[in-house]
Amino acid sequence: MFRPVKLTRLTIQAPEDQISAVMAILGDLRLLHLIRVEETHLGHLGYVAHIDTSLLEHYDSLLARANRLLRDLGPTDPSSGIRKVPRPDKAVFRLEEDLARIETEALEPLERKKKAKNAISEHEALIARLQLLEPAGIDLDRLDDLKYVTWRAGLIPEENLNKLEQSLVDTHHTLIPIGRKERRAVLLAMSLKEDEEVLLRALKSAFCDPLELPPGIHGTIEKALDRLSDELEHLKTELAGLDTEGAELTRKYGTRLKYLREEILLARQLLKAQAKFGQIDHTYLLTGWIPVALFEELKKRIIKATSGNVLVDQVDPKDIKEVRSGILKIPILFNNPMLIRPFERLTTLYGTPSYEEVEPTVFLAVSFLLLFGMMFGDMGHGAILCGIGYYVFRKMYRYIDYGIILMECGVSSMIFGLLYGSVFGMENLFPALWMHPMDEINRFMVMSAFLGIGVISLGLILNLINVIRQHRYGELLSTSGLAGALLYWLGVGLVARYLLSGGLSPFEVIFAKVAAGALIILMILQRPVRAVLAQRRKEEKWRHLPPGFGGTILESFIEVLDDLLRYLANTVSFVRVAAFALTHAGLFIAVFSLADMVRGVHGGGLFYWVTLIIGNVFIIALEGMVVSIQTIRLEYYEFFSKFFRGGGKPFQPLLEEE
C-alpha cells in the first residue's frame, strides 16, 4: 500500500511456433508491462518482430461482422467477461465457425427486418409527398393519359414564383399553387409535351424540389393514400413480427456474441502487442515488467504449455545497468485497497511517483477525507453527497472512481456533521459531539493549524524516507531534509509548550536558541561546502553554481530564509480549514435569515421551505466545489510539495480496454 507493487524484469525467448501459446498465457496474466524491443539495442539493430498482418486482417473482418450483428440485434446483457484468453492463431478458426453459425441463423431475418424498415420509411415519405398534392384533388391516371400536355409537381421557394412565371412567359404553361410548406409553394406545373424540356429547365433553375411519384401510383391521390396507408399498416405488422423474431435471436445469441466480440478484441490486442517483440530468424524475444510474485507461476505455465521449449528468465532491477543509471525507469503499479484506489487519479494528476518513492495515495486519501469533512461537516449534506456518489457509482460506469470519492466524502461530512451537531444547518436537533464551529472560532482555528502541523510533519517524514531510499543523503542537512524537519518541530514544540503552560523556562529558551542557531548554520553552510567539495571533484552537477564561496553562502542564506518562511506560510495556510467550515456555517445562517424574511408574506410557509431547499442546493453546489478545490490545493501545495518528486512511469498492462 505504501509502495508500488514490486516488479521484476521478465525476458522470454520463444520459437515462432510457440509464440501464440505464450501470448495467450501472458494475456491471461494481464499484469505485464511490455518494453518495446524497438527501443532497445536489439531493436536498434533491426531485430523487430512483425505482426502477422493476414491474421490481423482476419480478426478485423471478424470484428466487423460481430459488431454488425450486435448492432442489428440491439442491446444485450453485458457478457460475463473472458475467463481464458484465446490463443490468436488457433482461436481464429473457432471464432470464425461460431460467428458463421450465428450468421446463418440471424442474417436472413435481420435482412428481412431491415427491408421492412426501409419499406416503411419509403411509404411514409411517399405518403408525406402525396399529402402535399392531396388538396388539388388530382387524378393521376387522367394526368398521365394527357396526350399533348406534360406535368410536374414540386416545392419551390416562394420568392422564386414570379421569376418562374416570367421565365415561362414564351411557353404555353400553367402553374397551379396547391399549398405551402416551410416557406415553399407546392406547385403543379403543366406545359405542352413539346415544351417539356423548357419546363424542366425552368423548374430546375427555380430550385424546384421535385415531388416524384414512383410508378404504380394510380387513380386519385385520396385513393392512393388509402392504399398506401393500408400497405404501411401491413408493413408495420410484419415488422412487429420480425421484432419478436429479432428479440428471440438477441436472447439466444446476444450474450454469446458479446463474449465472441471480447475474444476477438483480446486476440487482436495480443497480435498487435507482437509489434513490441524482438525477432531473430524464427525466435521471438519479448521483455517487460511483471510483479515479482507472479513470475514463478508464469514460468511454470509457459514451460508446461510449451513443453519446455521456451526460455523464461528474470533479472533483478538492481542488476540492470540502465535502471541503475536512471535511463530505464521501472513502471509503477499501484497497490491500493478498493476504497483508496480512486484517489490514485488525484495522485497521478500531480505526477506519477517514481519506483523508489513512497506511494502517497493512502496518505492523500485519508488527509483529503479528513480536510473535506472538517470544511463541509453536515449530516444532511453529507448524506446527499453520498447519495449522488452512489448514483454515479451505479449508473455511470466511466465515472465510477468519482462516485466512490463522492460517497467517501459524503461519509466524512456526515461524521463531522455528527461531531458539529449539524443537519442541513440546523444545530439544535441533537447535541454536538465535539463543538459548534461558530461558537468556538479561536479554538477551531488553533485546531486547524495543528492539523496542518500534523500534515506537514507527515510530509517531512515521508521525505526523509524518500531521501534514504533514493540515497540522497546530502539532502538530510537541507531545509527540506532532517535539519529542516528538526527546526520545524523545535518551533512547533516551543509554540505548543507556550500555549499549554503560558511561558518557557530559561533553559528551554537557551536550548531553543542554541539548537535553532546550529541547525540554521548547518543548513546555510551545507550547500556551499558540498559545492566546494564537489567542484574539487569536478562533478558536473555543481558546475552551474556561481564561483566563489561568499556568493554561494549568500545564495544559500536566502534560500534557507525562503524555505523557513514557507514552513510558516504552509502551516498558517491550514487555518483555511476552519475558515471554510465557518463559511459553511455562515451560509446556513444567511439561508435561514432569508427564509425567515419570506415567512411573513402571503403563502410564506411554502416560500420558507422553498428558500431553505434552494439555499441548501446552492450551498452543496457552491461550497462543495470550493471545499474540494481548497482541499486539493492543501494536498498538492502544502503536503505533496514536501516530499513528492514524481517523474515515474505508469504501468501499462498488456491488454488495455479497447
CB of 199 to other proteins, least distance (A): 9
CB of 159 to other proteins, least distance (A): 6
Assess 152 for contact with other proteins (CB under 8 A).
Answer: no
Q: Which three cell numbers stand for residue 135?
A: 388538396
How many other CB atoms are found less than 10 A from the CB of residue 478? 21
Q: Which three cell numbers stand for residue 198?
A: 423548357
C-alpha distances in Å from residue 622, one per residue of 168, 185, 410, 616 = 68, 54, 15, 10
Contact pick of 205, 237, 244, 505 for other proteins (by CB under 8 A): 205
Site string for other proteins, 546-575 (x = CB under 8 A): ------------------------------
Per the document, the length of the chain is 658
CB of 188 to other proteins, least distance (A): 17
Assess 153 for contact with other proteins (CB under 8 A).
Answer: no
Assess 387 for contact with other proteins (CB under 8 A).
Answer: no
Assess 171 for contact with other proteins (CB under 8 A).
Answer: yes
Q: How far apart are CA 587 and CA 592, in angstroms?
A: 9
Assess 157 for contact with other proteins (CB under 8 A).
Answer: yes
Contact pick of 159, 226, 313, 316 for other proteins (by CB under 8 A): 159
Assess 181 for contact with other proteins (CB under 8 A).
Answer: no
- Cβ proximity to other proteins: between 67 and 166 the closer is 166
Q: Are 90 and 58 in contact (CB under 8 A)?
A: no
CB of 132 to other proteins, least distance (A): 14
Q: Which three cell numbers stand for residue 411?
A: 461519509
Task: Dump strand ranges (E) for 3-129.
Answer: 7-15, 33-35
How many other CB atoms are found less than 10 A from the CB of residue 17? 11
Sequence-ordered alpha helix ranges (H) in 600-650: 604-633, 641-643
Size of the site for other proteins (CB under 8 A): 25
Quick one: which segment of 195-203, 343-351, 505-513, 638-646 binds other proteins (CB under 8 A)?
195-203
Assess 167 for contact with other proteins (CB under 8 A).
Answer: yes
Contact pick of 74, 135, 210, 548 for other proteins (by CB under 8 A): 210
Assess 169 for contact with other proteins (CB under 8 A).
Answer: yes
Q: Which residues contact 468 (CB under 8 A, 6 or more apart)?
A: none
CB of 165 to other proteins, least distance (A): 8
Q: How far apart are CA 217 and CA 141, in angstroms?
A: 9
Assess 121 for contact with other proteins (CB under 8 A).
Answer: no
The C-alpha angle 287, 293, 297, rounded to 5 degrees, equals: 75
Beta strands at 184-192 and 649-650: parallel, antiparallel or unpaired: unpaired
Assess 536 for contact with other proteins (CB under 8 A).
Answer: no
- Cβ proximity to other proteins: between 195 and 635 the closer is 195
Assess 160 for contact with other proteins (CB under 8 A).
Answer: yes
Assess 172 for contact with other proteins (CB under 8 A).
Answer: no
Paired strand residues for 506: none
Q: Are 645 and 347 in contact (CB under 8 A)?
A: no
Assess 164 for contact with other proteins (CB under 8 A).
Answer: yes
Q: What is the 3-class SS of 49-80, one letter each residue? A: CCCCHHHHHHHHHHHHHHHHHHHHHCCCCCCC
Paired strand residues for 189: 152, 175
Q: Are 344 and 362 in contact (CB under 8 A)?
A: no
Using CB under 8 A as the binding rule, the residues of this chain from 341 to 360 that contact other proteins are none
Contact pick of 19, 21, 23, 206 for other proteins (by CB under 8 A): 206
Q: Which residues bind other proteins (CB under 8 A)?
A: 155, 157, 159-160, 162-164, 166-171, 183-184, 198, 201-202, 204-210
